[in-house]
A and B are shown apart, each in its own frame.
Chain A
Amino acid sequence: MFGELPKLTILVVFLILTLLYAIRFILRKEIPFVSYINYLWIYFLIFSVAEIFSFKIAVWILAILCFWSLREYFSLIDIRLQDRWGIIGAYLSIPFMIYYIQIDWYGMFIVSIPVYAFLMIPFLIAIGGKESKGIIFSTGAIDFGMFLFVYCLGHIGYLALYSRWMAIMLITNVVICDIITYFIQKKTIPVLKSIMLKYFISSPFTVLMTVLLSNWTTIPTGHSISLGLMIPVLIIIGNHTINYIKFDLGIDEKNMCPGRGAVIDNMKSIFYSAPVVFHYIRYFLK
């Protein structure tokens, strides 16, 4: 009975989130933060599919998530006509990376994008057109988007391959930090102070959460505490950075919709934390 408990918890959370959707659909009532819950639902869909069916199917749902966020980023940046082949290359990097996660080929997963795709994309841009002006900026913009929205997000998949609960631990910490960030962001405080404030308010909760979950994540208590202290730093740094990028992309906070910043905005906290947490766990615990 108790052996099944972790598995059941995932399903229950998933069902609750689905139920929220059903309520929204039937009663036609607007739930607050509906687009945020949307992405939470997708993460839990990935974990429940991995628990019930197989990880191989679940990781391809992550591919769709990567594709959506990358597509939104490319829709928002200013691209030249000559960059089209580079963008196709960036999209094609998703199935390759997901395949390496699926077959658990760590070495290839870790080099596929930072080595091969990074070298390939400037070449693809260069054969795309005769106009050479602006290629450096194009390369930078496309490579950066691919790195952040494909590679960093892909680490969640690999983390879930190690243990579902490690990935869920990360997601819960992200949720905690996002809630606290949301309330502090309303006030006008100098940047550094607000970052410190966010950290000191959220870190007790994240430490508590990681220690509470340490039975299921199978992370020793010492490492749980240090992860709980480390994760909010990464989340808050990532959150702040992506907010600045959002500003440059011309995302209007008031009328955000998918395609106009909603995807990036709802997932911004995960991009910085996922790779670092993954490598921490891999270095110390594997």
Chain B
Amino acid sequence: MRKLFQIFSLRIFIHLFILRPFVKLFFGINIQGRENISQLDRYIIVANHNSHLDILLLFCILPVKGILITHPVAAKEYFSKSKLSFYLINFLFSPVWIERGKPQERRDPLKDIKDRLEDRHNVIIFPEGTRGNPGEMKHFKSGIGRLAALYRDIPIVPVFLFGPERVLPKGSNIPLPLWNEVIIAPPHFYQGAHTEITHSLEKIINELEQSVKAFRHKRETVVKKSSITIAVLGIDGSGKSTLSRNLAQNLSVDGVSCLVSDALMFYENNQPKDMQPLITEKIREMIGGYAKKAKSLKFYKIPKLTELLLRDHLLDEIKRWYSTDFIILDGAPLLNLTAWTCLYKEQYFNKNTCSKAIRILTAKGEEFQKSDPIFKQFPELSSLKYLKLNHLKLPDVVIFLDVESAIACKRIDKRGEKKQVHETEEKLGKLREAYKLVCNVILEDWNIPTISIDGNKTVEDVVAETENYLKKFLKENADGK
């Protein structure tokens, strides 16, 4: 009869029909692992302590029969400041009061808790002692270990509370409506010394904390990785698109790689990756299409120049938005631009002008006056400089695929597509010489590692050779940094 009366007591009514709905509707509470506690009759709950709300949340997870016989452990002098709140807390939660800061009495601080446990009642303990700074966990005090060592038949339930440190942190009075997570670990029975028990409980709760916080939104900005730009040069039909595609796929094992070819592709773990589209890329594709359809070199020039400049701009955008580990360029914009001048202005094309042009195009040639002969020979350079389009970037590594123009021509014939204007044996031969010269200049003037690879071999051989070289370069690069 007395038990029945207890079930319908005012305290249970307030807990079930006022406090729990209030917590659920106003704050919001997610309980994980409720089945770990609902079957137990006796238990010691161990939780992290961040805010006054903790006790309220822990009473939400208790089974109904446990509401009257569970006592949180609380410090008396903190709550006894105001009489009303002391009375309310005493009525709702009936805590075990611990008096701190009175060493002269010399009585066992755990005595009250032991009394309750002897009466087959349950306790809630915050082993951190006091509320710490929001979101930080202190080391557990040894009391819980001593208690668990005394009562080895009572299961200990570790609980992690996430959220109350934001709802009602130390030092603020107004609770904010924000969701709380309560994660209940399976009950434990402990053997062994009390220090071990304390450590193991601390470890369990720390692990729960890590598992919850892993996916949380963090405000820190992403640290940008510096990406390595690899340029693959070569005349049309030398197999540079195949090589660069293979490289992009193979390098993507170590990180995200990006292939700037006719289309923009991203790879991760040998698989193509879907990324947010770039508007620059769409424009570039369109202009590249015009260039391919051109009927003569004269009409080819402007679209190709625009495409190359856009391709260079694209490099910037890739570095800015995606921060990939590797960028593989199917033809570097700057080097292509320089080498291509030989088709238009063959008479002026030599090592000296080439070096000057690269200096101007990378915005480092400030020392050249307007009257410099290079601007007369190549008026495009001065217009590019005037339009401030001369901020092209040099690649980190250059790979030159050396193929004889006759073989390249045959390969192009095999594709069966419509030929572009410059794809004749004579012009490709000239281009090849120009590329060689540019590679030399790059190596000598700028100290950029350059390798010339014989493109007559099979694809596998070429890829393997390039990869060996790149691995060496990457290792040196990592050591240097």
Q: Which residues of A contact B (CB under 8 A)?
A: 67, 71-72, 74-79, 81, 84, 87-88, 91, 134, 137, 188, 190-192, 248-250, 252, 257-260
Contact = CB atoms under 8 A, between A and B. Distances in A.
A84 B172 contact: yes
A259 B176 contact: no
Interface residues of B, number: 21
17 contacts: A67-B177, A72-B179, A77-B217, A78-B218, A78-B219, A81-B134, A84-B172, A88-B176, A134-B219, A190-B274, A192-B277, A250-B215, A250-B216, A250-B217, A258-B30, A258-B179, A259-B179
B217 A84 contact: no
Contacts of B178: 71, 74-75
B30 A190 contact: no
B276 interface: yes
Contacts of A84: 172, 174, 176
Interface in B203-232: 215-219
Contacts of A252: 215
B359 interface: no
Nearest to A141: B219
Interface in B149-194: 163, 166, 169, 172, 174, 176-179, 181
B303 interface: no
B28 interface: yes
Contacts of A249: 217
Contacts of B277: 190-192
Contacts of A87: 176
B217 A71 contact: no
Contacts of A190: 274, 277
Contact of B217 (A76, A81, A192): A76
A188 B166 CA distance: 39
Given A74-B178, A91-B177, A190-B277, A259 B30 contact: yes
Contacts of B163: 75
A259 B274 CA distance: 29
Given A67-B177, A71-B177, A74-B176, 13 more contacts: A71-B28, A72-B28, A75-B178, A78-B216, A78-B217, A84-B172, A91-B176, A137-B219, A191-B274, A191-B276, A248-B217, A249-B217, A260-B30
Nearest to A74: B178
Nearest to A192: B277
Contacts of A72: 28, 179
B274 A188 contact: yes
B301 to A, nearest CB: 31
Given A87-B176, A250-B215, A79 B28 contact: no
A249 to B, nearest CB: 5
B196 to A, nearest CB: 33
Nearest to B276: A191
Contacts of B166: 75, 79
B419 to A, nearest CB: 30
B179 A75 contact: yes
Determine which residue in A71, A91, A134 has the highest number of CB atoms from chain B within 10 A of its CB, and name it. A71
A41 B137 CA distance: 42
Contacts of B181: 259
Nearest to A68: B28
Interface string B356-373: 000000000000000000
Nearest to A87: B176
B28 A258 contact: yes
Given A74-B178, A192-B277, A81 B169 contact: yes
Contacts of A134: 219
Determine which residue in B30, B179, B181 has the highest number of CB atoms from chain A within 10 A of its CB, and name it. B179
A70 B104 CA distance: 52
Nearest to A72: B179
User: 5 shortest A-B CB distances, which residue pairs?
Assistant: A259-B179, A75-B179, A250-B215, A78-B219, A75-B178
Nearest to B133: A81
A190 B163 CA distance: 38
A248 B30 CA distance: 21
Contacts of B174: 84, 88
A79 B274 CA distance: 31
A168 B174 CA distance: 38
Nearest to B28: A259
A259 B169 CA distance: 19
Nearest to A137: B219
Contacts of A67: 177
A129 to B, nearest CB: 10
A72 B180 CA distance: 10
B92 to A, nearest CB: 25
Contacts of B215: 250, 252
Contacts of B169: 81
Contacts of A192: 277
A248 B181 CA distance: 20
A260 B163 CA distance: 12
A93 to B, nearest CB: 14
Contacts of A191: 274, 276-277
A250 B219 CA distance: 12
B57 to A, nearest CB: 13
A258 B343 CA distance: 66
A17 B21 CA distance: 24
A126 to B, nearest CB: 17
A257 to B, nearest CB: 6
A257 B30 contact: yes
A206 to B, nearest CB: 25
A257 B174 CA distance: 26
A42 to B, nearest CB: 14
A250 B213 CA distance: 10
A65 to B, nearest CB: 13
B28 A75 contact: yes
A257 B276 CA distance: 28
A165 to B, nearest CB: 31
Determine which residue in A84, A88, A248 has the highest number of CB atoms from chain B within 10 A of its CB, and name it. A84
B27 to A, nearest CB: 9
A71 B274 contact: no
Contacts of A74: 176, 178
Nearest to A138: B219
Determine which residue in B134, B172, B219, B276 has the highest number of CB atoms from chain A within 10 A of its CB, and name it. B219
Contacts of A91: 176-177
A240 B195 CA distance: 53
Given A81-B169, A88-B174, A71 B179 contact: yes
B32 to A, nearest CB: 9
Contacts of B134: 81
Contacts of B172: 81, 84
Nearest to A189: B274
Interface in B246-283: 274, 276-277
